[in-house]
Structure 1
Amino acid sequence: MKYVLVYEPAPNIASTAPLYFAAHGARAREFHERGTLLRIGAFARAQDYGAMAVFATRESAEEFAAGDPFVENGVVASWEVRDWDEISFEHPADPDAASVARHVDVTVARPVADVYDYVRNPENLPAWAAGLGAAVHRVDGKWIAESPMGGVVVAFAPRNDYGVLDHDVTLPNGETVRNPMRVIAAPGGSLVVFTLSRRPGVTEAEFAADAATVSADLARLRGILEGGPE
């Protein structure tokens, strides 16, 4: 299930929308970085038919609309959120088929080397990666994170010059989850990209929640590295 936010345009949309488009776009980027805004755009002849956006949860759609400058300033005459039973051909019925992946990213106003060194240090994980627990310690040459599931082993890829921050997380049951992660140069600093794979048996809602968690972790990472609030 996904949730479609539908905007009905106000009669004066042609003159008012340009005044608030930058702020509207910034709000859209914020929700996209959280992992909750999946698609957004106007219909053809937007002055007659308006626009729509697709969200992972109803709550995020309603929150977006409530604080959208388009709504606050009368660019939109009315809005509603509709439940959408999506039929996806990307997720095969075969439970053994490969999982779908989603890329979650964040920009950080720091050099690549600074971001790389901070992320690759497992001792920093409790500060930004909430899902891995509140404490990390080294035992017999391995980094152990105290997660809600129990102790998990975290192992980063060998140090490299390519910004590769892939790391394996071995769960208490012995299963190992590989987490591809990169930091690359971007205008004004760095782009951190985490690839989240949808494993067999994970529902669409659970996958969206996982993506939102990763997005929140990356936002916290940015806050730490830029010296702002987490």
Structure 2
Amino acid sequence: MSERHVIGFLVSTELLWDLVGSGLAPGDLLDDAAGEVAELDFHLARSWPGMTAERLARDVFAGQLDEANAGDVVRLLAPLLDAVAFPVYGEQALWIQETMALDWPPALKALGLPTLAAHWEQGNIAWPWPRGTSPRSSWPVVTELPPVVLEAVRAEFAASGWRSALEDLPYDALEVDDPEDVREELAENLEQLAAWLLVTPEPGRRCVAPDGNSLVLIMDGDM
């Protein structure tokens, strides 16, 4: 079965961009994300022979950005954020299997979550390329919920009654072959996401500010 996963981090995107071209040595940072580094190295061995996570980080920190391999450059974000930001997902990513065929935005709107619907699966962050420019790759999808948006999403989760709305959502609104399986997985993922929204970052991470952090979501897996 095809699947995707979503992980999330609280991070100051201003501090995150400061790493690009900073000249930092990546070793000390990436040592704190050994598991994610190993996963990226495994992927790069097949998709970009000769490249490693550490070498890729060294290039980014030197400001050397390879647009021809933009998708793999963006994949550096997962181990890097694991090291310098605050992971809100713990050991539990959002797993998307039954809901792969679901058109999430209309469903989220129907549940009273229009702000999340407007941002879901929308690549809106170009890191490590200049802020305000378009992402150089469409996959993986990296979505920033900046502080104002994050507060709006929190408020909608608190006020929407999405759980009862999901129970009452008619089959034709889901438009999938197995609506009950989809309803169950959607409920599980939204419960998890609601918990992420309440996480307070611990101090001491390089790219976590005292306040004003964004929630950055990374969706990867099967396209």
- Identify the structure with the greater helix proportion: 2
**TM-score, normalised relative to structure 1:** 0.23
**TM-score, normalised relative to structure 2:** 0.23
- Identify the structure with the greater strand proportion: 1
Larger radius of gyration: 1
